[in-house]
Amino acid sequence: MEQSDKFEIFLVATPGLEAPLLAETVENGFENARIVPGGVSLRGGWTDVWRANLCLRGANKVLLRIGSFPAVHLAQLDKRARKFPWSDFLRPDVPVKVEATSRKSRIYHAGAAKQRIEHAITETLGAPISGDATLRVLLRIEKDICTFSVDTSGEPLHKRGHKPVVAKAPMRETMAAMFLRECGYTGSEPVLDPMCGSGTFVIEAAEIALGLNPGRGRSFAFEDLAGFDPTAWGDLRANGYMSETDLVFSGSDRNSGAVEAAQANATQAGVADVTKFQTRAVSDIKPPPGDAGLVIVNPPYGARIGDEKRLRSLYGALGKVLASRFSGWRAGIVTSNAGLARATRLPLLPPGPVVDHGGTKIRLYRTDALP
């Protein structure tokens, strides 16, 4: 892997959260970053690939575009795939999984195209093909242009590697980090989540305040690519800093099991010293001592008939508590239902973009500092 090589790097975003991912990418010093369909594109070398996986909180995957060529029929695809420099990127001893899509192209059978690529890789490089492989080669055929990418992340990046316990209907870490960013959170103020579940918002906020890289505790698919330099990667990983903070990040939930899970996850993430979790109903929450900050919450949305009336009461109680006790604090509420957000009777700003949360369309509703 030549560190001077420049590639197109594609950061996969959660649909609706491309803008905060771009802002995070630029803030972290990546060059020529821009929003494209599905995420953020930039140019960089191998160190940038590693660093994007290690430090970007909002990316779901980091894909590396490794080359492209035109092809209008399967024989042409086969011939050109056999001349492709697979050995520049893949190792003959590491299993590979190939995935293919085709759109508006004369090669319309993605399954047949996938087979051609598998044969090219095994017969020219010797790498085994496996449906269970963690290293994925992606072929996209669009308007007769065949583009190859490698998934350098492996497991999706919301899997930080330090969250053993997950609550029901969890907020993914990547989404939580981008919603925190959309609320203007930078790590310099306290955060409270009164329906914390397994603690995702609280733990992400604490990690940001402490300057901890989100990928510090896991492995990545790029470690199995050709020419990977473990020494250089080790140096990059060791360069992460841990700052100090006097802030405390708080979570509460009426479910004691969720609170125990959140505490276990915070310990695993190394942020137990700056987080505090309590079993508490929404009506009982109070601001922690010190300066005002951000209340951010992902309440239940309700999917069954009859839920909405009960949930309006819950949202109303949340709004009443925030309005009466949290003067000076900002609020961020993530929900799929604008009526429920309005039931808080808080002075809501225009809602954020629609975000796809596992098929449910949700939005972030924010306030300025409450009076």
| 3-class DSSP state of 76 | helix
User: CA-CA distance, 209 to 244, in Å (whole number)?
Assistant: 8
Q: What is the mean pLDDT of residues 102-112?
A: 95
Q: How many residues can be counted in the chain?
A: 371
Note the pLDDT of residue 285. 97
Using the predicted structure, report yes or no on whether residue 49 has a pLDDT greater than 50: yes
- Nearest-CA neighbor of 282 among 255, 301, 249, 309? 255
Q: What is the pLDDT of residues 267-282, one digit of tens each?
A: 999 999 999 999 999 9
User: Can you give the pLDDT at residue 230?
Assistant: 97
Pairing of β 294-297 and β 330-335: parallel
Residue 103's pLDDT is 95
5, 43 contact by CB (below 8 A) = no
Per domain, the residue ranges of the chain are 7-151, 173-212+246-366
329 versus 358: which is more confidently predicted?
Answer: 329
The answer, yes or no, to whether residue 349 has pLDDT greater than 70, is yes
The CATH superfamily of 173-212+246-366 is Vaccinia Virus protein VP39 (3.40.50.150)
| pLDDT tens column, 169-203 | 678 999 999 999 999 999 999 999 999 999 999 99
SS3 state at 170: coil
HEC string of 263-289 equals HHHHHHHCCHHHEEEEECCHHHCCCCC
CA distance linking residue 48 with residue 11, whole number of Å: 12
pLDDT average, residue stretch 198-213: 96
Fold of 7-151: VC0802-like (3.30.2130)
- The model carries a pTM of 0.95
Task: Decide the pairing of beta strands 61-70 and 7-12.
Answer: antiparallel
Ramachandran angles phi, psi of 114, nearest 5°: -60, -45
Residue percentage of the chain with pLDDT more than 90: 89
* pLDDT of 110: 96
Q: Which two tokens stand for residue 198?
A: 């397994």
Q: HEC profile for 52-113? A: HHHHCCCCCEEEEEEEEEECCCHHHHHHHHHHCCHHHCCCCCCCEEEEEEEECCCCCCHHHH
Which tokens hold the place of 91? 């190792």
For residues 132 and 97, the answer to whether their CB atoms sit within 8 Å is yes
pLDDT of the residue at 304: 56
- Say if residues 167 and 72 touch (Cβ distance below 8 Å): no
Mean per-residue pLDDT for 249-253? 98
**Strand ranges (DSSP E) for the chain?**
7-12, 34-36, 39-44, 61-70, 97-103, 136-142, 145-151, 191-193, 249-253, 275-279, 294-297, 330-335, 355-357, 360-366
Cβ neighbours for 267, distance < 8 A, ≥ 6 positions apart: none
Share above pLDDT 70 across residues of the chain, in percent, rounded to a whole number? 96
Structure tokens at 56: 């970007």
pLDDT exceeds cutoff 70 at 17 = yes
At residue 309, the pLDDT reads: 84
Q: For residues 31 and 48, what is the distance between their CA atoms, to the nearest angstrom?
A: 10
Q: How many whole angstroms separate alpha carbon 40 and alpha carbon 68?
A: 19
Give the span between the Cα atoms of 170 and 192, in whole angstroms. Answer: 17
User: CA-CA distance, 216 to 53, in Å (whole number)?
Assistant: 10
Does pLDDT of 3 surpass 50? Answer: no
Measured between alpha carbons, how far is 320 from 326 in angstroms, rounded to an integer? 10
The pLDDT value recorded for residue 331 is 98
136-147 pLDDT, tens digit each: 999 999 999 999
Residue 274 in contact with residue 333, Cβ under 8 Å?
Answer: no
Q: pLDDT digits over 288-308, tens only?
A: 999 999 999 999 987 655 578
Measured distance between the N- and C-terminal CA atoms of the chain, rounded to whole angstroms: 56
